[in-house]
Amino acid sequence: MLNEFFLWLEYLPLAQHIGATWWFPLMESLHVVSMTLMLGTILMVDLRILGFAANRYAISTMSSELVPWSAVSLTIASVTGVAMFITRASTHAVNPALQIKMLLMVLAAINIVTVHCYVFRGVVNWDAGKVAPFSARFSAGCSLGLWVGVFLAGRWIGHIV
């Protein structure tokens, strides 16, 4: 039944158009650029939390200025990712690289919610200090690892058929 849904997606006129025209390389290019921008903004905030970069800046300032860029980039990456997925949905759905990427994205989303709902609650107490509490550093390390994993798994999607 799920395979029928994926086949239905593949036969949508939009999926056929994307897969057969210059739209696919455009979606792929926008996907890579938006993921790169997102990873760059996440990298800056996480490295600040870990105490490796930009220690003269308050974490809350960096976060408030860079997280909106991450959110916009993630939105673009999601739309373009879905656009590419639907062109070969039945094949992509069983691709281990895509499955790993999706799992890592779910774990990254859980980490984001945890950081914003719990870890950043007390940011005023450690905002300007070089050393953030262990929970913040742990979350930042997880964030970096998970998003790099998303990137690497994404690169393998087209190479595993």
Domain enclosing residue 146, as ranges:
2-157
Task: Please say whether the dihedral angle defined by the alpha carbons of residues 40, 42, 43 and 44, taken in this order, is positive or negative.
Answer: positive
Q: What's the half-sphere exposure (Cβ side, CA atoms, 13 Å) at 16?
A: 5
Residue pointed to by tokens 């779910």? 106
Identify which has the larger pLDDT, 1 or 27: 27
CA distance 158 to 32: 13
> Residue 103 — pLDDT band, cuts 50, 70, 90?
very high
Give me the pLDDT at residue 126, please: 84
What is the DSSP-derived secondary structure letter of residue 112?
H
Tally of domains within the chain: 1
CA distance 104 to 111: 10
Give me the pLDDT at residue 122, please: 82
Residue pointed to by tokens 């007390």? 122
Give me the pLDDT at residue 161, please: 66
Answer yes or no: is pLDDT of 130 > 80: no
